Amino acid sequence: FDTQTPPSSTSDKTSFAYTSARDRWPIIITGVIDDVHRAVSETEDVDKRAEGKKIVEDIAKLKYELQHDRKLTPLLDDGSADIAGYNKELEQLGYPSWFNVPWLYAECYLYRRVATSMALSKHWKSYDVFARQKIGTFRSSRPAVIELASRYHELITQMSHKDEKPKEEVDTAEKILFMEMCEICLWGNATDLSLLTSLTYEDIQKLQGSEARKASEKNIIVNDLGAAYNVLRKAQTDGKAERRVDIVLDNAGFELYVDLILAGFLLSSGLATNVILHPKSIPWFVSDVLPADFGALLSALVTAQSFYSTPSEEELNSGKKPAALAEKEIKELAFLFQEWSHFHSEGQLTIRTNGFWTEGGSFWRLPATAPKLHNDLKESELVIFKGDLNYRKLTGDAMWDPTTPFTTALGPLGPGSGVNVLSLRTCKADVVVGLKPGQDEELRATEGGGGDSGQRAWAWNGKWAVCSFSSGK
Ligand code: F6P
Ligand code: MG
């Protein structure tokens, strides 16, 4: 079911696949080792300590194999259904080595292997090696979190008076808001943690906030948000009783926060009657949302004062004391919590996990290998796929000519699939489609864009983005 277009491979030295395997993965794996090491030192439980040390050894071995370009070995059977699929694919690939393997498979394998070590233990089964980092980054995005809470509160207050306004005015405003919310969600993705190896917290803050957002609009090189809006508006004006939107989530922390803001807006405006969120089921690509990340986020909001103004370890060491939150800020954050809790208790905002999202292949396989999930997604008016990895999976992470239509690059999930796809993606990998002729060349010619090096470097750092839509009809 895969595309015939060759996949992006770690063997291509001009690709971000190669740079990732060589520079980024060792840093990420070292982070995992450090985290487990720290957790081991924090526990008194002797059995748990021993198991933790064994996990550290397993992961150090993984790092060694990667850095010495060894062959990928079959995953140990941890009882989950997806292991057989991973191992079958490894066999089909001919047991490749780390620097000669399809990028997408290898990167999924890496996270799956860490998860296997945990799953095979007794005490670390539900341990998330990235949890500490995820919540830490959410805390560091305080200015943008507060700005958005305030904007959201204002917006919902205005919306509660919308019956007093002419319908056309409301519709136009809601269209603009829909686009703006989607853009917030789009750029919320520029701050994912797997790129943090090269970003400072200051950079992250600059990426957020409304000024930054306006300035970034010119960096959206494909923008189909209008088409996506029309689908939702049409379902509403056609009088469809249930109008569902799905969000295939990407990262926890700030990005999840903005995704929930979008969900709240869709429900409050009536553009949707239900929103279903799809998180991952194992720690994934560092920052991806797990079900437990919802709880962590919500508890940060209800305990906002202590969450934000209790100094972190670093702040204690540097003597910097965070400022206390103002009463108004605390109320606005609590308002968000109430809104989301209300929608959740009414059954309008729900979470749905599926093992398919953490398999090693692309979404080209979805209709054939996960037919139930496919049928479920067909029920949705719009399925929003967040982030870079989802885009890579949608397009098979293949080396398409960049002028290939998005609908073609989706393969079996394109037109005829019954699924309306909207991808909100800041570019952090080589694959990109739907560009105009000459556009890739122009972008390569920009500063740091790659020039004649053969690298599509402009597409690597999250500076440029695409909002691509495909109708499932
Ligand atoms: O490009 C860096 C990278 O880690 C890719 O490997 C991966 O596709 C992506 O970032 C993850 O980003 P996102 O969280 O946007 O999916
Ligand atoms: Mg991610």
**Which tens digits make up the pLDDT trace of 19-37?**
999 999 999 999 999 999 9
465 contacts 427 by C-beta, under 8 angstroms = yes
Percentage of the residues of the chain whose pLDDT score is greater than 70: 95
Average pLDDT, the chain: 93
pLDDT in tens, 136-167: 889 988 888 998 898 889 888 888 888 887 88
Write out the two tokens for 135: 């919540």
pLDDT in tens, 95-140: 999 999 999 999 999 999 999 999 999 999 999 999 999 998 899 8
Alpha-carbon span 467 to 422, nearest angstrom = 7
Nearest ligand, measured from the Cα of 389 = 1
Cβ pair 202, 445 in contact under 8 A: no
Express each pLDDT in 285-309 by its tens digit.
Answer: 999 999 999 999 999 999 999 999 9
Query: 111 in ligand 1 pocket by Cβ < 6 Å?
Result: no
Q: Report residue 1's pLDDT band, with 50, 70 and 90 as the boundaries.
A: confident
The residue whose CA is least distant from atom 2 of ligand 1 is: 428
Q: Would the CB of 430 count as within 6 Å of ligand 1?
A: no
pLDDT tens-digit map of 361-386:
999 999 999 999 999 999 999 999 99
Q: Which amino acid is at 440?
A: D
Q: Is 159 in the pocket of ligand 1 (CB under 6 A)?
A: no
Strands (E), 229-285: 244-248, 274-278
Cα of 317 vs centre of ligand 1, distance in Å, is 32
| DSSP assignment string, 378-397 | HTSSEEEEEHHHHHHHHTTT
> Which of 90-99, 107-116, 198-207, 277-286 is least confident?
198-207
Instruction: Point out the ligand 1 atom lying closest to the alpha carbon of residue 390.
Output: 16
Indicate whether residue 392 lines ligand 1 (CB < 6 A): yes
In the numeric block, the tokens 């840093």 are attached to 27
Query: Does the pLDDT of residue 9 top 60, yes or no?
Result: yes
Ligand having the closest approach to the CA of 252: 2
Dihedral of the CA atoms 111, 116, 122, 125 (nearest 10)? Answer: 40
Look at ligand 1, atom 7, and give the residue with the nearest C-alpha: 389
Q: Residue 201: pLDDT band by 50, 70, 90 thresholds? A: very low
Contact 459, 429 (CB under 8 A): yes
pLDDT of 322 strictly over 60: yes
User: How many angstroms does the Cα of residue 394 sit away from the middle of ligand 2?
Assistant: 14
284: CA distance to ligand 2 center in Å? 7
Per-residue pLDDT at 199: 46
* Cα 8 to middle of ligand 1, angstroms: 14
Contact present, 69 and 98 (Cβ < 8 Å): yes
Kindly report whether the global pTM for this prediction surpasses the value 0.90. yes
